[in-house]
Amino acid sequence: MKKFDIFISYRREDGSDKAIIIRECLKRDGYSVFHDVDSLTRGDFEKKIKDAIASCKDFILIVSKKALEVCPDEKNWVVEELACAIENKKNIIPVFLPGIDGFPSELPPRIKYVTNLNGIPLPYKNQFFEDFYRKLKDDYLTSKRTSHKIAIWSGVVFGFVLLLAVIVYKIFPPNIETLSVSFQNENKDMIVRLERLPIQDELHFVKVDGGEYLMGIDRKDGERRLDESPMHRVRLDTFWIMDSEVTNGMWRLIMGDLGNYQEDSDFPKSGLDYKECQEFIKILNHQIKDSEILSLGLVFRLPTEAEWEYAAKGGMNQDNYRYSGNDTLAIVSSINRGKDLKLDRVKSRKPNSLGIYDMSGSLFEWCYDWYGQNYYRQCGDVVDNPAGPKTGETRIIRGGATNSDSSHCEVLNRSAREPSNFWDNSEYNNCGFRLVLGRPIIE
């Protein structure tokens, strides 16, 4: 079993970005860090987690709002990991995210010990991060950094061991999957079944036959929303798109939160930035073992902006409704304009002509593309499988949300946000996503 200097425990909903930044800084400085997204592979999920904690010297606990909310829950992984660290007498370092100044008074007895520990607050502003990180290393960590020379030789040895492990894995594959993925092709649609005891779910993908369509709209100079013009012809390959947004239940299943069924499982997962969506997709793609999916050359990913608009318009049907499936927003979306975000269960309203639900007015949905204000003007006459500009500062979101202006819910409306905001993720409260099964995007 590989030993780690440091184990990072965090709540995915609001601690993921912070954990990644701390992890990358520690790895850069020669520490061996266990971070579940990169470190977990096939096998017994719970055993791997607890073995990693038992092997480490330092246990960094990212204390976020969501982590505090689940602390009283005995069956949550934050509690399980912390209890394991306490049991194994690890050096536990609470890192309090901005706005968090301590633990709740009511904690399960087995983790009550953590309230006795000094923590280190993460600063609000980027320019103070180096001071925080220096304090973390100098005053809190007990692990010693690996010298560059040792790190190089360790890398060589690790590479050899990894190669040997791959050979052994090919000859003697393990019998236990952390997540079971099965695939069923029912006529033109695809069903991907996900199972991780004690919960399971299905992802239903609708086939969208490839073809050409006119993307955008022609607007005159000076008009509002000029970035939607000019209208240009786009040619797309066939792809499959989820008939609903990713739900809370699906999110918990993939991300390893193995609690019992919860009442909000059928509601769309909100509050996600672009990087969190990509983290989910990375884990899901890692689990693909079905030969039929692989033989088709498909991967799970975000839709491109062109794919999203094409599907929202009904694919080859091109119904050209103002919203996806109808000219009246109330038929395809909840009515809650201009108020707090209030979501319905997925598939509560009418679908569009392809049988795809909630593409207008549920949550803003992330697309793959960088946003470019003049990108449509640079596209030319016909574009094959466009995936947006090569670089940018913001990523495309489409479809509007229940608390956005109705104009944002129109099929043609283009919006964009930063992929992630380390210091304030409240701007993503009304953002979610749906998956595509399609050809990999060549960057």
DSSP assignment of 411-433? TT--EEE-S--SS-GGGGTTEE-
Rounded CA-CA distance 408/403 in Å is: 10
Rounded CA-CA distance 84/51 in Å is: 10
> In one letter, which amino acid is 430?
N
pLDDT of 373? 92
Alpha helix (H) ranges present in 127-197? Answer: 129-135, 148-171
Strands 364-370 and 431-432: parallel
pLDDT of 72? 66
**DSSP letter (8 states) at residue 323:** B
pLDDT of 266? 92
pLDDT of 181? 65
pLDDT of 176? 32
pLDDT of 334? 76
CA distances, 221 to each of 94, 112, 177, 233, 260 (Å): 54, 64, 56, 20, 55
Please list the helix, strand and coil fractions of the chain in percent, rounded to the nearest 5, in that order: 35, 20, 45
**Strands of the 6-9 sheet, one edge to the other:** 33-34, 6-9, 58-63, 91-96, 120-121
Whether the Cβ atoms of residue 96 and residue 121 lie closer than 8 Å to each other: yes
pLDDT of 162? 43
pLDDT of 153? 46
Question: Greatest CA separation found in the chain?
Answer: 68
**DSSP letter (8 states) at residue 273:** -
Rounded CA-CA distance 255/145 in Å is: 30
pLDDT of 78? 82
Per-position DSSP letters for 212-234, written without gaps between them: EEEES----TT-TTGGG-S-EEE
> In one letter, which amino acid is 267?
F
Whether the Cβ atoms of residue 70 and residue 113 lie closer than 8 Å to each other: no
CA neighbor of 343 nearest in space, from 363, 360, 359, 368: 363
Whether the Cβ atoms of residue 45 and residue 77 lie closer than 8 Å to each other: no
Classified as helix, coil or strand, 347 is coil
Whether the Cβ atoms of residue 33 and residue 57 lie closer than 8 Å to each other: no
Element counts in the chain: helices (H) and strands (E): 12, 18
Classified as helix, coil or strand, 203 is strand
What are the mean pLDDT values of the chain's consecutive 10-residue runs (443 residues total)?
A: 86 80 88 69 68 93 82 72 93 91 83 90 78 91 67 47 43 44 72 73 92 91 82 95 94 72 84 93 81 81 97 93 95 75 91 96 96 91 92 96 92 94 82 96 81
**DSSP letter (8 states) at residue 377:** G
CA neighbor of 205 nearest in space, from 219, 190, 194, 220: 190
